[in-house]
Amino acid sequence: MLDPRQLREKRDAILESCRQRRIQADVDGAITEYEKLSAMLTESNEMNRRRNDHQKSGNRPMSDAERTAHAEAGRKLKDDAAGLDDRIREQRSLLESKMMQLPNFIHPDVPIGGEEDYRVVKPGTPPEFGFKPLDHLALAEKHNLLDFEAGARVAGQKWYYLKNEAVLLDLALTRFALDLLLEEGFTPTVTPDVAKPDVVQNIGFTPRGEETQIYSIEGHDLCLIGTAEITLGGMLGDRIVDESELPIRLAGISHCFRTEAGSHGRESRGLYRVHQFTKTEMFVFCRPEDSDAELEKLRCIEEKVFDALEFPYQVIDVASGDLGAPAYRKYDLEAWMPGRGESGGWGEVTSTSNCTDFQARRLQSRFRREGKKKPELLHTLNGTAISNARALLALLEIHQQPDGSIAIPKALIPYVGRDRIGTD
């Protein structure tokens, strides 16, 4: 959420951010609601002054009639103050509903445009196979690695079973990513797989509504998380940390659940879009002046992960129209997937975003600088170390061999205990 005190001053910049993101938001309506709240708060201060003056005036000598009149006036002032407090609460709620519609600002270097208008910041080269490669579903059937049919019978479409070496690879990817992040100074964390709806919303996801990607648990005020970004970000909600503790870098392991409403077509087949997967997420709390550098660090870690997995990939600077509301800037790392489309294509396997103080303002996550009394909002960043389903998809397709076997990347062999799938 943006700072409501800056709405009028930064009105044009907010409108431009909405335009560049191609979203509709009532900026002027938010300004109006904030000014109404400001007027009410001024009125409340004046009323409190009058009540204090009235209370002090009761110390003078008074007749019984004057005492009765004074008490009646005090009760009326108290009732008026209570009524104003109720109106202020309602007005805060109206303002918050308007503020929740407004996206973050946009980094000046972000390319402007829609989904296809990204900028390639690190180009990649598709591999040469020398044979017609299979897609991951054909490879999984050949080696008995996935069972989508059983998953559909048990839970519905886009649910699945991992089997045999796919289980070993799934576990290996998690442990490999965690070990790498430990070397980078991250604190390992296993998060809850659920969160309260207000935490989900404060991070920037929609917990309810037709277009939500979040599952809600019937009968409980809880949601299944779509990413550990939600639970990691919520850890410092309503907290103030010392500057000396920053940056706080967390590596969170969780299951992720997504409705994937409206996701169809060849490019979403198989493991590319599923309802459940395991993910190792990076999350950073830092000082405002450090967040741009932290974003580059997260991007470099993601590249380090996929260099080790021997994946061909490209890195893109995501265009303004494809940014989520909290993101100030976002990089996607796209791996080459031979089974994507008719002749292969790039597919997102990780992303990393700088959300500046957008999430922290909603969560009230703050820090106190050394020697300062007033706390400041933290900046938050997130990045995917490994999203297992898509990483497994890419691994099967990229590392397939002419004889139909699948080579295990050297970085994973110690975790899997073998160097190949499909040979005796």
Q: Which residues are identified as catalytic?
A: 258, 273, 348, 351, 390
**β-strands 215-216, 223-224: how paired?**
antiparallel
Residue at token pair 């007033």: 374
DSSP string, 194-231: EE-HHHHHHHT---SSTT---EE-TTSS-EE-SSHHHH
For residue 215, give Cα distances in angstroms to 13, 229, 272, 387: 34, 16, 19, 19
Q: Where are the alpha helices (DSSP H) in 274-350?
A: 291-308
- Give the separation between CA 252 and CA 339, rounded to whole angstroms: 30
Burial of 406 (0-12, 13-18, 19+ CB in 10 A): buried
Residue at token pair 């932290």: 294
As given in the structure block, the two tokens for residue 165 are 């070496």
User: 319 by DSSP, 3-state: which?
Assistant: coil
- Give the separation between CA 407 and CA 422, rounded to whole angstroms: 9
- Give the separation between CA 351 and CA 208, rounded to whole angstroms: 24
